[in-house]
Amino acid sequence: MREVITAVIGSSAPADISLDDELHEIGIESLNILEIFVRLEQEYDIKIGDGEIFEAGLSRVGDIAKLVKSHVGSS
């Protein structure tokens, strides 16, 4: 997941991304979140609806991981 986030953020990505990092503090905005999920859905062969993503109240990298994990193995 770190590789996907780094690829989406680009050169401004921090060298080390942890689950506790706040999304806005590492430069992730709403459009970035959608791109991150598109890539993660492809990587893990899952589908998470846009509504679910925005309703999840994502604020940390760990929140993204938790939402992805809840779909892995259930599709």
Span 14-60, pLDDT tens digits:
989 999 999 999 999 988 999 999 999 999 999 999 999 989 999 99
CB 34 within 8 A of CB 74: no
Domains, the chain, ordered by start: 2-71 (1.10.1200.10)
Q: What is the pTM of this model?
A: 0.90
Give the separation between CA 58 and CA 62, rounded to whole angstroms.
9
Per-residue pLDDT, 9: 93
Q: What is the pLDDT of residue 45?
A: 95
3-state SS, 4-67, equals HHHHHHHHHCCCCCCCCCECHHHCCCHHHHHHHHHHHHHHHCCCCCHHHHHHCCCCEHHHHHHH
How far apart CA 9 and CA 56 sit, in angstroms, is 21
Which tokens hold the place of 9?
């953020």
